[in-house]
Amino acid sequence: MNRLRNFGFLLKEVSRRYVLRFEQRAQEMSMTLPLCKVLAYLERNEGVNQSKLAELTSIEPMAMVRILDHMEADGLVERKDDPVDRRARSLYLTTNSKPALDEIWRIGDLTRSETFAGISKSERAVFLNVLDRLHSNLLLLEAPLGESAPAAPARVSAPKPAVGKRRSRRQPGK
């Protein structure tokens, strides 16, 4: 079987199962994935407007309005007038959001720990480096159709084993 041929399917399935596991844990705390995404993105992007937050989280703008209405009613976020655009409202977390954010990060840590069980720190590092490079390659290809996409990045060779370390005798792909 050509494992590389099924790469996209595997990546999607791993992502689906990872998100499902996170959602199961979040639901135990009466949180939804969209709420978690909004809080996490807003923590890193305080002061953005609803439309930008919807874009960052890949949540439809109308759904974002409903989520923010509920969050504002629960005292997790507040909307303030945008100093630059009179039509826009900037979003800020309240101190009430801290316990929810702490729980989100705890759930994320636990889910990640479960997912990486049996995988060494060095294997994790290599995996995350490769994933970052794949992400960068795909970002370069996002030129609108009809425009020429930038040249693909040069191939980067796999890291060489550290001196004094033995290579695994397992065959690749096993």
Whether 146 is in a domain gets the answer: no
Could you give the residue ranges of the DSSP H alpha helices within the chain? 7-28, 33-44, 50-57, 61-73, 97-115, 121-140
Whether 148 is in a domain gets the answer: no
Whether 169 is in a domain gets the answer: no
Q: pLDDT at residue 169 above 80?
A: no
Tell me which residue range forms the domain holding 27.
Answer: 4-140
Whether 173 is in a domain gets the answer: no
From 97, 92, 40, 51, select the one nearest 74 (Cα to Cα). Answer: 97
Question: E strands within 39-99?
Answer: 77-81, 89-93
Lowest-confidence segment of 38-42, 138-142, 161-165 by average pLDDT: 161-165
Whether 45 is in a domain gets the answer: yes
- Count other Cβ atoms within 10 Å, centred on residue 28: 10
- Over residues 67-90, mean pLDDT: 92
How much of the chain exceeds pLDDT 70, in percent? 81
Q: What is the CATH number of the domain that holds 76?
A: 1.10.10.10
pLDDT in tens, 25-40: 999 989 999 999 999 9
pLDDT in tens, 85-124: 888 889 999 999 999 999 999 999 999 999 999 999 999 9
From 76, 44, 41, select the one nearest 59 (Cα to Cα). Answer: 41
Average pLDDT, the chain: 85
Q: What number of helices (H) and strands (E) belong to the chain?
A: 6, 2
- Over residues 63-68, mean pLDDT: 95
Q: What is the pLDDT of residue 146?
A: 57
Whether 171 is in a domain gets the answer: no
Asked if 102 contacts 90 with a C-beta cutoff of 8 angstroms, the reply is no
Q: pLDDT at residue 66 above 90?
A: yes
Whether 29 is in a domain gets the answer: yes
| CA separation, residue 82 to residues 39, 52, 74, 90 (Å) | 19, 13, 22, 5
Here the tokens at position 83 are: 């100093």
For 116-148, the DSSP string reads TTT--HHHHHHHHHHHHHHHHHHHHT-SPTTSP
Here the tokens at position 127 are: 């995996």
Phi first, then psi: what are they for 143, rounded to 5°?
-60, 140
Q: What is the pLDDT of residue 172?
A: 44
Whether 172 is in a domain gets the answer: no
Number of domains within the chain: 1
